[in-house]
Structure 1
Amino acid sequence: MSTQAQAVIGALYGDEGKGLMVDCLAAATPGAVVVRSNGGAQAGHTVVGAAGARHVFHHVGSGSFAGAATHFSRFFVAHPMLLLDELAALGQLGVTPKISSDPRALVTTPFDVIINQALELARGTARHGSCGLGFGETIERNLRPEFALSTKDLFRPDLRARLVSIRDAWVPVRLAALGITALPAELATALADDITIGHFEADCAAYLDRVTLWPDRRLCERGTIIFEAAQGLLLDQDSGAFPHVTRSNTGLANMLAIAVEAGITELDATYATRCYTTRHGAGPLKGEVSALPGINVADPTNAPNEWQGTLRLAPLDLGVLREAIAHDLALDRGGIAVKAGLAVTCLDQADDGFAVTDNGEGMRLDPAKAASRIANLVGLPLWAEGWGPRRGDVRLHVDAVAA
């Protein structure tokens, strides 16, 4: 039983290369279990396998190509409807991940999705940047015990009655509280149709066929743990710029809580950042520009979409990066020894001499030396640098991790 664990955390607004880093760590850790420590299906972590197969991981841990198992922690929000689609897509790539879940992991219903999409549509140009998948609404509903739904509840004989109660008693109250008096026709039809509940029950049954219940406290019995965070530190519900945040803690907080339960005593945390800054969705972005001189941005995952618009860009701000990581590392660690290092990704997209900023001053960096320079200015050891989308494109600084 190992009491040491690793972690990958997005240092800014997400999309920093967390999937790539988890894949690399899983490949170097036989028998690993990737633990989803926050978020839900709105995550999008891209991994390109050795044979060139590409998958955007939403539920399943990003170490699956490397053979790692997946565990949904008590802080994860499961989305049975979308998990089945993802497993089917992975199956076509020859990947069949082993999945377990803490019984307390929350579950998204179709009604959370309906409310989420109705609210975001009603906001018009003042949207918060939601993905429209019902994540935040799932959190909100579960604050009311009579409407709560977690993974263990999917075994209840009264599941259908509980879903009917959510639809008939919770949804009207929530819509009224949000000031929504009418739904778009398509959403209204889905809400009223009993087929919606029937389909969801079938999805839940299939979900239970594929997911084994396993408590967080027994995680170390499964293998070496790799925590995989979703989103980034600047979207954390407690420290991000409200209301443009996610309804979860995106850094160490959840990992430390799980570690205490599981008996983990040491944690190596890799903070990932691109060599420039991106944000997909509404909210502040310091130094935002329409294009980045010296950067050939390549991002097929974050295509423009109805809910989050177009990927936004800014030079990497080392002051913002340094502050975000320092704030996360200042959390009460509950006696757990934490070591931290930096991973800098997307260096292959930088031309000779690209710009970053620090305390309002710009500086130009040589891509070949940029990762070590950025890590030095942030005050962390450099643990990895990414020069492309595949595992073989990552240079792991093993000596730094082991120090």
Structure 2
Amino acid sequence: MENRVIIGGQWGDEGKGKIVDALSRDVDWVLRYQGGANAGHTIHIGKDKHVLHLVPSGILHEGVRCLLGGGMVIDPWSLRDEIMELEERGYAVRDRLFVSATAALLMPYHKRIDELREARLKRKSIGTTGRGIGPAYLDKIQRTGLRMGDLLLPAENLERKAIEKILSANELLSQTYDAEPLPARVLAEELVVLARSMAPMVVNAYEKLAGVREGTESALFEGAQGTMLDVDHGTFPYVTSSNSTIGGALTGTGLPPRALGEINGIFKAYCTRVGNGPFPSELLGAEGDALREAGGEYGATTGRARRCGWFDLVAGRYAVDINGMTGVIITKLDVLDDLPALQVAVKYELDGREIDIYPVLSEAMPRCHPVYREFPGWEKPTAGARKLQDLPANARKYLEFLEGELGTLIVGVSVGRDREQMIWTPTGVTT
């Protein structure tokens, strides 16, 4: 199988986990390259539901090796719990899961700082997941944080280094937030215990991925969050702290551009967003509530209700262009089955004029209002469709319109949460 990158085309929660699960059975490696436990990738296999926050979705396929890349921030306590849950369900994990030694360590004080900062900001808060992602990346950028490679140190060295970092964080907690200090020695001792079990998984990713780099092994790159949450290209400051666009796949794995292969963007057939920030096509009131309930739009990581709205082509084209998407996959088409009509934001109105180019300045986004085009609904079930011809005519017309406007092929359509509820369309949906 050719290498492939899976990138969220919207504000995250597009269904990337299901798509990675569907595609990873034929690859040698599945690689996470950015983010941390703020991801929530949900996979349904029969009656079983798996929610993965750190471990790549490919772990559910026997024989597939998985790597947490150097661009990630990794909470070893959360990783331990996730591994244990998978092992309790019968999955062999420890001989197939590897962690880059250069990945940043996310510590309990990062979570505490995240919570306190959000509480202080109140209405001006970004709306983070509270998982400590931002503070952990801050330590990485400041070159002061721990890394997964530190787990390979002798126990006394690791403990001493961890205590030093925790005591430094305690000063910040007390002086800036007037908060209680964390138990430095207790947490450091816990980290030493974690290191004993995790050290065998910590590797030199450059060496481990030599086969991918040389073209003798295949890889699927599993992105987290989405394009519009990218720290450089998203709706700043309401973004995550990493590069969730295509550049993150390179820097987060250490692999060269030639290793990327196909670049597939994942888009819901509508839009959702968690947390604060601009969302031009948002549906407020009863319409938004109905779409949320139909799609089960509640965060896999936080349980928060997602904001829902119509498909946004302005943001969609932007995502396709800056990532160089060679194809897109539309998910949750079935959620729209009962609607008599639906709309697509084809342009924005900004200060009295229509635009179809995404405005990158954060000050402009709140002033953007969607210009809609309406489509008739299909009001027929799509969950049983397995090929394009099985879909109602109006559903096909909707997909054809999206394909034409996005400027790249729709190579797959998801019509339900289960593995088998997929329609693969490698040559596109336009007949």
User: Contact between 2:30 and 2:222, CA under 8 Å: does it hold in 1?
Assistant: yes
User: Contact between 1:316 and 1:356, CA under 8 Å: does it hold in 2?
Assistant: yes
RMSD: 2.5
* 1:106 matched residue in structure 2: 104
2-structure distance, mates of 1:139, 1:174: 17
User: Contact between 1:275 and 1:316, CA under 8 Å: does it hold in 2?
Assistant: yes
| Residues 285-364 of structure 1 aligned to structure 2 (within 5 Å) | 285-290=279-284, 291-292=286-287, 295=291, 297-299=294-296, 302=299, 305=302, 309-329=304-324, 340-350=326-336, 351-352=338-339, 353-359=341-347, 360-364=371-375
2-structure distance, mates of 1:364, 1:280: 26
Question: AA paired with 1:113?
Answer: K
* 1:371 matched residue in structure 2: 399
| Residue 104 of structure 1, CA deviation | 0.8
User: Contact between 1:74 and 1:104, CA under 8 Å: does it hold in 2?
Assistant: yes
| Residue 197 of structure 1, CA deviation | 2.6
State the percentage of identical aligned residues.
Answer: 24
Residue of structure 1 aligned with 2:237, choices 205, 225, 243:
243
Structure 2 CA distance for partners of 1:362 and 1:280, relative to 1, 3 Å: same
2-structure distance, mates of 1:8, 1:199: 35
2-structure distance, mates of 1:159, 1:215: 21
Residue of structure 2 aligned with 1:234, choices 228, 231, 252:
228
Question: AA paired with 1:86?
Answer: E
Structure 2 CA distance for partners of 1:391 and 1:304, relative to 1, 3 Å: closer
- 1:388 correspondence with 2:416: yes
User: Contact between 1:106 and 1:149, CA under 8 Å: does it hold in 2?
Assistant: yes
2-structure distance, mates of 1:200, 1:217: 26
Give the TM-score normalised by the residue count of structure 1: 0.85
Question: AA paired with 1:356?
Answer: V
* 2:67 matched residue in structure 1: 71
| 1:391 partner SS | coil
| Residue 375 of structure 1, CA deviation | 1.8
2-structure distance, mates of 1:162, 1:83: 21
User: Contact between 2:32 and 2:68, CA under 8 Å: does it hold in 1?
Assistant: yes
* 1:155 matched residue in structure 2: 152
Gaps of 5+ in 2: 348-370, 377-393
User: Contact between 2:43 and 2:417, CA under 8 Å: does it hold in 1?
Assistant: yes
Gaps of 5+ in 1: 330-338
* 1:53 matched residue in structure 2: 48
Structure showing greater relative contact order (alpha-carbon pairs closer than 8 Å, 6 or more residues apart):
1
Question: AA paired with 2:98?
Answer: S
User: Contact between 2:102 and 2:148, CA under 8 Å: does it hold in 1?
Assistant: yes
- 1:85 correspondence with 2:81: yes
1-structure distance, mates of 2:58, 2:140: 30
1-structure distance, mates of 2:240, 2:8: 13
Structure 2 CA distance for partners of 1:201 and 1:258, relative to 1, 3 Å: closer
1-structure distance, mates of 2:110, 2:346: 41
Aligned length in residues? 375
2-structure distance, mates of 1:301, 1:313: 10
Q: Larger Rg: 1 or 2? A: 2
Could you list the structure 1 runs, at least 4 aligned residues long, displaced by more than 6 angstroms after superposition. none
| 2:177 partner SS | coil
